[in-house]
Amino acid sequence: MKILGTGSVLPKKIVTNDDLSKFLDTSDEWITTRTGIKKRHVISDEKLEDMAAEAALKALEMAGKKPEDMDLFICSNVVNEYVTPSLACVVSEKIGVKCGCYDINCACPGFLFALDMADSYYKAGKAKNILIVCADEPSRMCDWTDRSTCVLFGDGAGAVVLGEGDNVLATKINSQPNVDKLWETRILESTPYINKMELNMPLQMKGKDVFKFAVSASTTEVVALLDSIGMKKEDVGYYIVHQANMRIIDAIKNFLGEPEEKFPTNIADHGNSSSASCLILLDECNRRGLFKKDDILVFSAFGAGLLSAAAIVRW
Ligand code: COA
């Protein structure tokens, strides 16, 4: 497959670290030093499905494809207002996509899980033109009185259209199941028969453990995946790393011994937008003309599960 088009959409409301320090015991200095985040876009009056649809249309336009050309549509999402149908169905109705579609919930590395699936469909001859949309609103998962989580996240949607080509060189998905590190639960509708304890808990995170997992999973997987196709780090043009924390990105960069210019980032402006993060960054870099033909892009992402994944794409 080949990436034919990219798109992204951010909510219009921008919340700075100083805005947060007005109602939280935090500061611009703490958030900037510990995370690299200066501001984030959060949903106010937007609907996530509208942002997802707009991102998809932007990617389709760049790809020169119509919604009805798609053979498969995979949507990565953790939560949205619809329990059913899937966000993929809601977006399909909005933009006129008519192929089989479904949601995956693979948290922050969702784009790379979707890419891995898309690659398998393509190689099996079951789909040629594939739409992937990653849309997440983690701001709606946090307790906004909990300074250790809510300062980290922003909302957004990203999309790619994939078509015929041989540019997806390798993908690998992984898990180290450990629910306790990053989780959220919600209470479902009651019934006359429910007699168990259920909890409505906003996002809970063991930050230091997630940090260590992210750095170790990413570095191990990037090295192994490059090795699996006989590539060296010198062959890599850019690393598109999940934008969770600038210190995580720096640690990965230092471990790999790679220069800063190979690591484009947007975390300062957007925070962590879960599975949308890699695609928003990809689209921003693409639209400003950063990538040249044949550049090697290495993707790496990690998150709740604990899940992680990597991919290598020739531009
Ligand atoms: N402002 C000010 N102080 C804060 C704060 C905030 N927003 N959040 C936490 N603190 C405080 C803590 O309460 C703690 O205080 P204490 O020492 O009095 O107990 C202190 O800062 C240090 O907290 P700690 O958790 O040790 O900080 P840290 O250096 O590990 O940084 C994270 C915290 C969350 C930024 C960091 O662990 C991290 O980014 N982890 C990865 C999280 C992530 O990316 N998750 C998503 C993955 S997809």
For 144-188, what is each residue's pLDDT tens digit? 999 999 999 999 999 999 999 999 999 999 999 999 999 999 999
Domains of the chain: 2-165 (3.40.47.10), 171-314 (3.40.47.10)
Q: Which residue has the tokens 């989580």?
A: 149
Q: Is the CB of 206 under 6 A from ligand 1?
A: no
Gap from CA of 205 to ligand 1 centroid (Å): 10
pLDDT at 185: 97
Output the residue whose Cα is nearest ligand 1's atom 14: 148
pLDDT value for 145: 97
- pTM of the predicted model, to two decimals? 0.97
Cα(175) to centroid(ligand 1), Å: 24
The answer to whether the CB of 31 is under 6 A from ligand 1 is: yes
User: How far does the centroid of ligand 1 lie from the alpha carbon of residue 211, in Å?
Assistant: 10
> What six digits make up the tokens of 301?
């992402």
User: Which atom of ligand 1 lies at the shortest distance from residue 242's CA?
Assistant: 48
Q: With a 6 A CB cut-off, is 106 part of the ligand 1 pocket?
A: no
211 ligand 1 Cβ < 6 A: yes
- In the set 75, 80, 242, 245, the catalytic residue is 242
Question: Ligand 1 atom closest to Cα of 214?
Answer: 47
Residue 272 annotated among the catalytic residues of the structure: yes
C-beta of 249 in contact with ligand 1 (< 6 A): no
Whether residue 41 lies in the annotated active site: no
Q: At what angle do helices 276-287 and 48-63 cross, to 10 degrees?
A: 40
Q: Point out the catalytic residue in the list 41, 272, 278, 285.
A: 272
State whether the beta carbon of 275 lies less than 6 angstroms from ligand 1. no
Per-residue pLDDT reduced to its tens digit, 43-80: 999 999 999 999 999 999 999 999 999 999 999 999 99
Q: Which distant-in-sequence residues (6+ apart) come within 8 Å of 76 by Cβ?
A: 103, 104, 105, 106, 110, 111, 113, 114, 132, 133, 134, 135, 136, 275
> What is the Å distance from ligand 1's center to 251 Cα?
16
Determine the residue type at 194. Answer: I
Q: Say how many Å lie between the CA of residue 207 and the centre of ligand 1.
A: 6
Which token pair is 230? 């006989």
287-297: pLDDT as tens digits: 999 999 999 99
Q: Whose CA is nearest to atom 48 of ligand 1?
A: 303
pLDDT in tens, the chain (315 residues): 999 999 999 999 999 999 999 999 999 999 999 999 999 999 999 999 999 999 999 999 999 999 999 999 999 999 999 999 999 999 999 999 999 999 999 999 999 999 999 999 999 999 999 999 999 999 999 999 999 999 999 999 999 999 999 999 999 999 999 999 999 999 999 999 999 999 999 999 999 999 999 999 999 999 999 999 999 999 999 999 999 999 999 999 999 999 999 999 999 999 999 999 999 999 999 999 999 999 999 999 999 999 999 999 999
Rounded to a whole number, what is the largest CA-CA distance in the chain? 62
Task: Tell me, yes or no, if 108 is annotated catalytic.
Answer: yes
Active-site residue identified among 75, 101, 106, 108: 108
Asked if residue 109 has its Cβ within 6 Å of ligand 1, the reply is: no
